[in-house]
Amino acid sequence: MNVKLSDGRIIPIDMHKVRVVQQTTLPPLSRRVEAIAEAGYNTFLLRTRDIFLDMLTDSGTNAMSDHQLAAMMISDDAYAGGESYYRLQQAVKDVLGFEYCLPVHQGRACEHLLARVFIKPGDVQLMNYHFTTTKAHFEMQGGKVVEIYCDDALQTASDNPFKGNLDLDKFRASIAEYGADRISFVRMEATTNLIGGQPFSMANLKAVREIAQKHNIPVIIDCSLISENAYMIKQREAEYADWSVADIVREMMAQADVIYMSGRKSTCARGGLLATNNPEYHRQFSEWLPVFEGFLTYGGMSSKEIEAMAVGLREMTDLEAASASVDLIAYLVDLMVKRGVPAVTPPGGLAGHVDAMKFCSHIPQTQYPAGALAAAFYIVSAVRGMERGTISSERDEHGQDILSDLELLRLAVPRRVYSMAHMEYVVDRLSWLYAHRDLIGGLEFVQEPPALRFFIGRLAPIGDWPQKLAEAYRADFGEV
Ligand code: F0G
């Protein structure tokens, strides 16, 4: 939540008390230079002990509430028919308004099941933007992902409050081009992860629903960050300013035929779920669940996490919970802008993002500017961010990189984990790096898996730029 101070400043204030803490350390510069080399210049391959602030992701790394932890103590581990499942089912009914729900081990398992049930080879899946695992699963099933985002969605510096909107003209044109029969569904991702966590508006969702219904196209919402999107609707869409986050979420859900979520984000747990009011879809998902995930009442999740997700679902619509990361991200992004760091604006829902194509305009996209920036930023800060650019993309059939629309350094803000002081530190080191950006060089792959290469691929610097960067840093700050 934001509060206004008597000097006029607005700050994000923590609406919780920290009663359990996890120690972190700030490894010295010399160790950071070694650690990133050991990790193949891929921040995914760093170890926690070498990280000061872990801003890799907001997935599964959020602070849980006392009520979530308490619920985990009374979980029911029955293989079938466990009471934990029924508590989750009730939470899904109460909060999201769906009769049927199925737990899965995490969000991408939903995408796998959606692909099995909805996609035939040659089908097209329309969406406001793809996510890495989404695209991988849909294309493995023979589908074709078509993104129909609004024209300025990829403009990193913008004042469009809803860059996650689906372009309605492109939607109509796609229906005309492919024919409704070939369109498996239209998917709306609540805060588009890869283009900066940008929300869509309620008006846009309702318009998408109306067009889809006319053509019998199912509407699917990726709800992984649903409460954050709902909170930004409350903040940015005048009509909903007086609505509660809970009511906005219900209204959003009323537009969907199927929803799915990674339970690792808004619900501050680990797991995932699929939900619908359509008994036929439910039957089809249910048939695959025991094959790939587990029995219907646990779906590959631990019963403890099912309990935590049930409580997390109810808690995520509290204004305090829904706003926790959004307000801190806005603070982080505003600081970046004030210090001249090229940030993605407006602030989004899961992270502060830096435009690496502007930050490292001297590095060609084929040398992965966002990956290089993530490695360089780790060296100068011990903060772990993530590349969201061409490394997170793939190669075409000729082995050439498919250059990503955007090259972003993502600095995720897990819910209720970090403080304003941490954000000040992040922006301080980031602006120092911006002043020394010419020292950052490119990267090249030395080990590259065929799918989702960003997770475990290894890279090497082109030249000895990490050492030169470290020398410049040492001259200003010493080893810390
Ligand atoms: N959909 C969205 C919008 C996501 O952000 C993610 C995961 C998934 C689906 C897949 O869910 O990880 O539980 O299997 N995003 C994580 C991230 C990995 O760091 O952004 P999952």
17 is an active site residue: no
Kindly report the protein residue whose alpha carbon is nearest to atom 11 of ligand 1: 107
Give distance in angstroms: CA of 190 to centre of ligand 1: 11
Instruction: Please give the pLDDT value at position 75.
Output: 97
Active-site position among 265, 304, 416, 437: 265
Q: Which atom of ligand 1 approaches the CA of 60 most closely?
A: 13
Do 167 and 138 contact (CB within 8 A), yes or no?
A: no
Q: What is the pLDDT of residue 58?
A: 98
Please report the pLDDT score of residue 308 as a whole number.
98
Ligand 1 atom at minimal distance to the Cα of residue 271: 13
Given this model, what pLDDT does residue 212 score? 98
* Catalytic residue status for 79: yes
Radius of gyration of the CA atoms of the chain, in A: 22
Task: Output the pLDDT for position 19.
Answer: 94
Contact 264, 270 (CB under 8 A): yes
Give the model confidence (pLDDT) of 445-461 as tens digits: 999 999 899 999 999 99
- In 270-367, which ranges are E strands? 272-276, 351-355
Cα(226)–Cα(219) distance, integer angstroms: 15
CATH number at residue 449: 3.90.1150.10
Q: Is any atom of ligand 1 closer than 6 Å to the C-beta of 387?
A: no
Mark whether 309 and 326 lie in a shared domain: no
CA proximity to 84, closest of 314, 282, 302, 312: 302
Instruction: State residue 93's pLDDT score.
Output: 98
Q: pLDDT value at position 112?
A: 98
Q: Give the pLDDT score at 301.
A: 98
Distance in angstroms (rounded) separating the CA atoms of residues 152 and 173? 18
Of 248, 283, 315, at which residue does a domain stop? 315
Q: Is 392 in the pocket of ligand 1 (CB under 6 A)?
A: no
394 or 407: which leads in pLDDT: 407
What's the CATH number where 273 sits?
A: 3.40.640.10
131 among known catalytic residues? yes
77 and 51 housed in the same domain: no
Over the stretch 336-353, which tens digit does the pLDDT of each residue have? 999 999 999 999 999 999
How high is the pLDDT of residue 55? Answer: 98
77 is known as an active-site residue: no
Strand-pair partners of 401: 395
pTM listed for this prediction? 0.96
State which of 282, 315, 348 marks the end of a domain.
315
Are 152 and 70 found together in one domain?
Answer: yes
Rounded Cα gap, residues 227 and 223, in angstroms: 8
Residue 214 and residue 266 share a domain: yes
Other beta carbons within 10 angstroms of residue 297's beta carbon come to: 23
Residue 8 pLDDT: 97
Are residues 261 and 119 part of one domain?
Answer: yes
Let me know whether 432 and 466 are in one domain: yes
Instruction: Give CA–CA dist 331/336, Å, rounded.
Output: 9
User: Do 330 and 310 belong to one domain?
Assistant: no
Provide the mean pLDDT of the chain: 97
Domain around 223: 66-315
**Total domains, the chain:** 2
How far does Cα 299 stand from its chain's mean position? 22
Protein residue with its CA nearest to atom 21 in ligand 1 = 107
Which of these three, 289, 315, 341, is where a domain ends?
Answer: 315
- Based on the domain organization, do 252 and 376 belong to the same domain? no
Residue to probe by mutation, ligand 1, list 125, 224, 259, 293, most atoms within 8 Å of CB? 224
Residues 261 and 386 in one domain: no
Kindly state whether residues 122 and 143 are assigned to the same domain.
yes
For the CA of 192, the nearest atom of ligand 1: 3
Q: Is the CB of 106 under 6 A from ligand 1?
A: yes
Q: Does residue 133's CB lie within 6 angstroms of at least one atom of ligand 1? A: yes
**Mean pLDDT for the stretch of residues 217-222:** 98
Structure token pair of residue 154:
């990829």
Give me the mean pLDDT over the 253-276 stretch. Answer: 98
C-alpha dist (Å) from residue 198 to 80, 310, 331, 369, 387: 39, 26, 16, 22, 17
Tens digit of pLDDT for each residue in 284-334?
A: 999 999 999 999 999 999 999 999 999 999 999 999 999 999 999 999 999
* Residues 49 and 82 both lie in one domain: no
pLDDT digits (tens, 9 = 90+) for 9-25: 999 999 999 999 999 99
User: Are the CB atoms for 260 and 223 separated by under 8 Å?
Assistant: yes
Kindly write down the DSSP assignment for every residue of 190-217, as one continuous string: SSBGGGTSB---HHHHHHHHHHHHHTTP
pLDDT, tens digit, for every residue of 168-196?
A: 999 999 999 999 999 999 999 999 999 99
Q: State the closest ligand 1 atom to the C-alpha of 191, by its place in the atom list counted from 1.
A: 3
Three-state DSSP at 152 gives coil
**Three-state DSSP state, 262:** strand
Write out pLDDT tens, residues 367-394: 999 999 999 999 999 999 999 999 999 8
Residue 479's pLDDT is 94
The pLDDT assigned to 76 comes to 97
In whole angstroms, how far apart are CA 263 and each of 206, 248, 425?
25, 19, 29
Q: Are residues 42 and 123 in the same domain?
A: no
